[in-house]
Structure 1
Amino acid sequence: MRILLSTYGSRGDVEPMAALAVQLQALGAEAIVSAPPDQEFVDLLARAGAPLAPTFTPVREWIEAAKQRPADGIPQHAARMIGAQYEAIAAAAAGCDAIVATGLLPSAAAAQCVAEKLGLPYRHVTFCPLFLPSHHHRPYPYPGHPHPPEVTDPRALWDLNIGVMNALFGEAVNGLRASIGLPTVDNVRDHVFTDRPFLASDPVLWSWEPTDLCGAVQTGAWILPDARPLPADLEAFLEDGASPVYVGFGSIALPSTREAARIAIEAARASGRRIVLARGWVEAAPLDDGRDVFLTGDVNQQALFRRVAAVVHHGGAGTTTTAARAGAPQVIVPQIADQPYWAGRVAGLGVGAAHEGPTPTLESLTAALEIALVPETRARATALSGAIRPDGAETAAKLLLAEL
C-alpha cells in the first residue's frame, strides 16, 4: 500500500503529515509526503524518515513572490498555484493507491483532481474545526468577505460561505478541472473538503460536535514525536536560573509579530523573567546584549515547553497543542485565520490568556502574562496536559488503512 500525503503551507501543515507518514509506515504501508522543499521541511521529513516529493516551489519563495504582486487577490494567487501543484502532485502520485491532502485550498484542490483523474481514493484533512461546516460555529470570514451583519444564524452563514469560496477559488479550480477533462463543480468547498474529512485536532482543546453539515472524523492531533536533545548552551541557560518565558511566532512573518516579540521581551522582563526567544520566520532578535535572553532556532519544543514558565506565541494549532501537552501556560497574541479562535479556547479552558488583537502594548501583554504566570493557571495547564491525546496520527492511520 503506497499513500501520498500532500500539503502546501507552513510547518503547521507539514509536520502533522510527517506524523501520519510515520504511523502509516509503522503499520506496513509506504507513505510519501508532497511538501514544499524549504530546507526546514527537508530536514523535518528526513528526521521522520518520510520520503519527500517536492511541490512546485518552496513556500517561502512563494510568499516572497506574492509580495511582489500586492494588487493581486486570492483568486489570482490561486490560479497561479493550482496548475503547478497539479503537475507536481501528479508526478508524486505515480504508483500510489490513495491521496490524503491538506494545506492551502488550491493545493488541496489540485490533489483532489489528481486523485479523481487517476481513480484513487481521496481524503481531506484539516487541523481546526473552524474551517469545517457546522451549525455550532460560524465560518471563518475571508478577507474582503465579512459576514453580513444582519445574518447571525450559523447555517445561513455556511450557506453564504459556499458563494464566498466559489468567488475566491472557483475560477481556478474549475479552470484546472476543465483543462484536464474533469467536470466543473458548483460547490468548490464541499467538493474539496468532502463530507467526511479527517479533523486532526485534539478534542479536549476543541471538541467536534455532531452536525448534519459535515461528518468530520476527529482523530486527535497528529503529533510527530521529537527525541532531539536540547542544545547544550540552551540547557545551560535553562539550568542557570528560574524558568524563562518562551517567545516565538513560528512561521508568521509579519511586522506585527516582530513588534509583538519585542514587546514580549519587555513584558517578561517586567515580570522578572528571563526569555527564550525563537527567531521564527520573522527573524526575531534580542533588544540588547542582555544575558537574560537566549536566542534559538529550531529546537525540540516538546522538551523545551516542559521547562518554561509560559509560552507566548501566535496561536497556531500545532504550537497551541504542543504547549498544552507540555502543561505550559500560554499567552496567545493571534494574528490571522484560526489563531483568534485557539486563543479563545486557551482562555476559556483557563490555561492561559488571549491577547485582544495582533498588536500588543507593553501594558496589555504584561497583563496577559500575569494571568499566565499565576499558580492557578499553571495548575490547570498541568491538569489539562494529561488529557491531550498522543495517538491521533496512529488512529488516523488505522482508519485510513481499514478503509482502503
Structure 2
Amino acid sequence: MRVLLSTYGSRGDVEPLVGLAVRLRELGAEVRVCAPPDEDFAERLAGVGVSVVGVGQSARALTTAAPPPSKHNLPQRAAELIASQLRVMPPAAEGCDVLVATGATPAIAGARSVAEKLGIRYVSAIFQQLTLPSPHRPPMAYPGRPFPPEVTDNRALWELDAQSIDALFGEALNTGRESIGLPPVDNVRDYAFGDRPWLATDPVLDPWRETPDLDVVQTGAWTLPDERPLPADLVAFLDAGAPPVYVGFGSMAVRAGEEAARAAIEAVRSKGRRVLVGRGWADLGLIDDRDDCFAVGEVNHQRLFGRVAAVVHHGGAGTTTTAARAGAPQVVVPQLADQPYWGARVAELGVGVAHDGPVPTVESLSAALDTALDPKTGARAKALAGTVRTDGAMRAARLLLDTADASTAATAASADTAGTVG
C-alpha cells in the first residue's frame, strides 16, 4: 500500500505526520509526505526515512512575515497554496492508494481535490475539534470576521461559519479546481472534511461528543516515543539545580514577542525558580547574563518536559499533549485559533492555568505560576499523564490499512459478481 500524507502549517501540523508515517512503514506501507518546504521539517522527516515534497511557501517565513493573516490577505494566500498543491501533489501522489490530508482548511480542500482528480481514496484528519461542526458548541471566528452577537444558536453559527469559509477560500479553491477540470464546490468546509473525518487528539484532553451530522473517528494523538538525547549543555543546566520552569511559544513566539518572554522570565524568577527559554520561531533569547536562565532551540520536549517544574506555552495541541503526557503542570498563554480552547481544557482538568488573553505581564504570570507550581496541581498533572493515550498513531495506521484492505476486497467481490452475472 502506498500512502501520501499532506499538510500545511507549523511544526504542530507536521510532527503528527512523522508519527503516522513511521507506524505506517512498520506495517509495510510506502509513505510520502507533502509539507511546507521548511528545512527543519524536511530534516525531521528525513530523520525517520520519509521523503518530502515541498508545497507552497515556507511556513516559517509566512508566519513571521508582515502583515499577519487577515480577511484581506487570507484569500490570496489560499489561492497561492492551492495552486501549488494542484501543481506539485499529482506527481507525488502517483501510484498511491490513499491520500491523508491535514492542516489549514484550504490546504485540506486542495488536497482532496487532488485525490478526487486522481480517483484515489481520501481521509481528512484534524488536530483539534473546533473546526468540526457540532451542535454542542459554537465555531471559531476567523480573523476580521466576527459572528453577529445576536446569533447564539450553535447550528445557525455553524451555517455562518460555512459562509465565512466560502467567502475566504471558495473562489481560490474553485479557480484551482477549474484549472484541472473539476466542477466547483459550494461548501468548502464540508467538502474538505468529508463525512467521516478523523480527530487525531487524545480523548481525555479533547473529548468529542457524538453528533448526528458527522461520523467522527477519534484515533488519539499521533505521537512517537522520542529517544533523542538532550544536548550536553542543557543537561548540565538541568543537573545544576532544582527543576526550572520552561517558557516557550513555538511558532507563536513572533506573536507573543520578546516582551512576553521577558515578563515570563521575571515572573519565574520572582518565584525563586530557574528559567529555561525555548527560542521558537522568533529566536527568543535571554534578557541578561545571569546563570539562572538558559535558552534552547529544537530539543526533545518529551524528555525535557519530564524534568521541568512547569511549562509556560502558547497552547498548541502538540505542546499541550506533550506536557500532559510528561506530567508537567502548564500555564497556557493563548495567541489565536484553538489555543484558548486548549488553555481552557488545561484549567478544567486541574493541571494548570489558562492565562486571560495573549499579552502576559509579570503580575499575571506570577499569579498563574502560584497555581501551576502548587503541589496539588503537580499531583493532578502526574495522575493525568497516565491516562493520555500513546497508541494514536498506530491505531490510525491500522485503521487506514484495514479500511484499504476492506475496500479492495469489496471491489474484488463486486468484480467477481459482475463476471458471474455476465
Normalised to the residue count of structure 2, the TM-score between the two structures is 0.93
Distance 1:70 1:102, change over 3 A: closer
Hey, what's the Cα distance between the residues in 2 that align with 1:395 and 1:68? 37
**51-60 or 302-311: bigger deviation:** 51-60
Please give the per-residue CA displacement for 1:88-114, whole angstroms capped at 9, x wherever unaligned: 112211111110011122222221111
Q: Secondary structure at the match of 1:246?
A: strand
Cα deviation digits, residues 262-309 of structure 1 (max 9, x gap): 111000000110011111001111110010111111110000000000
| Deviation by residue 1:208-230 (Cα, 9 ceiling, x = unmatched) | 11001221110000003210011
> For residue 305 of structure 2, what is the aligned residue in structure 1?
305
- Cα distance in 1 for residues equivalent to 2:88 and 2:65: 19
For residues 5-404 of structure 1, the aligned pairs below 5 Å read 5-63=5-63, 67=67, 72-404=72-404
- Aligned pair in 2 of structure 1 residues 355, 69: CA closer, same or farther (>3 Å)? closer
Deviation at 1:49, TM superposition (A): 2.0
Larger deviation: 19-28 or 69-78? 69-78
State which drifts further: 85-94 or 314-323: 85-94
Query: Structure 1 residues 302, 69: CA separation in 2 closer, same or farther (over 3 Å shift)?
Result: closer
How far off its partner does 1:257 sit? 3.4
Residue ranges of structure 2 left out of the alignment (5+ in a row): 405-422
Closer, same or farther: CA 259–234 of 1 in aligned 2, 3 Å: same
Q: 1:69 to 1:363 in 2, by over 3 A?
A: closer
Structure 1 residue 202 displacement after superposition: 0.5
Q: Deviations over 1:242-278 (max 9, x none)?
A: 1100010001143433321111100000011001111
Conserved 8 A contact 2:372-2:378: yes
Asked if structure 2 preserves the Cα contact closer than 8 Å seen for 1:135 and 1:211, the reply is yes
Give me the whole-angstrom Cα distance separating, in 2, the residues matched to 1:255 and 1:211: 35
Using the TM superposition, give the Cα deviation of residue 64 of structure 1 relative to its aligned residue in structure 2, in angstroms. 5.4
Determine the C-alpha separation between the residues in 2 that align with 1:135 and 1:71: 26
Report the CA distance between 1:71 and its aligned residue. Answer: 8.9
Question: Which amino acid is the alignment partner of residue 224 of structure 1?
Answer: L
Aligned partner letter, 1:227:
E
Distance 1:229 1:355 in 2: 31
Q: What is the number of equivalent residue pairs in this alignment?
A: 404
**Other structure's SS at 1:196 match:** coil
Q: Which of the pair has more CA radius of gyration?
A: 2
Identical aligned pairs, as a percentage? 59
Q: Quick check: 392-401 or 103-112, which moved more? A: 103-112
Question: Which structure 1 residue ranges, 4+ long, deviate > 4 Å from structure 2?
Answer: 68-71
Distance 2:38 2:103 in 1: 15
Deviates more, 1:54-63 or 1:110-119: 54-63
- Change over 3 Å in CA distance of 1:202–1:212 after alignment to 2: same
CA distance in 2, matches of 1:64, 1:248: 16
| Structure 1: distance between partners of 2:176 and 2:319 | 34
Q: 1:192 to 1:247 in 2, by over 3 A?
A: same
What is the letter of the counterpart of residue 33 of structure 1? V
Task: Letter of the 1:249 partner, please give it.
Answer: F
Conservation of the 8 A alpha-carbon contact between 1:330 and 1:372 = yes
Cα separation, 2, equivalents of 1:100 and 1:29: 13
Q: Distance in 2 between matches of 1:72 and 1:80?
A: 14
Query: In 2, Cα distance between the equivalents of 1:16 and 1:402?
Result: 20
CA shift for structure 1 position 48: 2.1
Q: Given the superposition, is the C-alpha separation of residues 65 and 282 from structure 1 closer, same or farther in structure 2, using an over 3 Å criterion?
A: closer
2: CA distance between counterparts of 1:186 and 1:255? 34
Instruction: State whether residues 71 and 168 of structure 2, in contact with CA within 8 Å, keep that contact through their aligned partners in structure 1.
Output: no
Please state whether the residue corresponding to 2:353 is helix, strand or coil.
Answer: strand
Q: 1:53 offset after TM fit, Å? A: 1.7
Q: What is the rounded CA distance, in whole Å, between the counterparts of 2:217 and 2:41 in structure 1?
A: 27
| Alignment CA distance shift 1:40-1:208 (3 Å) | same
| Deviation per residue, 1:330-380 (Å, 9 max, x gap) | 000000100000000000100000000000111001000111000000000
SS at match of 1:254: helix
Cα contact 1:86–1:107 (8 A) shared by 2: no
TM-score if structure 1 supplies the norm length? 0.97
Distance 1:240 1:100 in 2: 45
Deviates more, 1:361-370 or 1:141-150: 141-150
Identify if the C-alpha distance between structure 1 residues 158 and 24 changes in structure 2 by more than 3 Å, giving closer, same or farther.
Answer: same
| Shift in CA distance, 117/71, structure 1 to aligned 2, threshold 3 Å | closer
CA distance in 2, matches of 1:395, 1:118: 27
Give the secondary-structure state (helix, strand or coil) at the position aligned to 1:4: strand
Kept after mapping to 2: 8 A contact 1:53/1:92: yes
Q: CA deviation at 1:138?
A: 0.8
SS in 1 for 2:258: helix
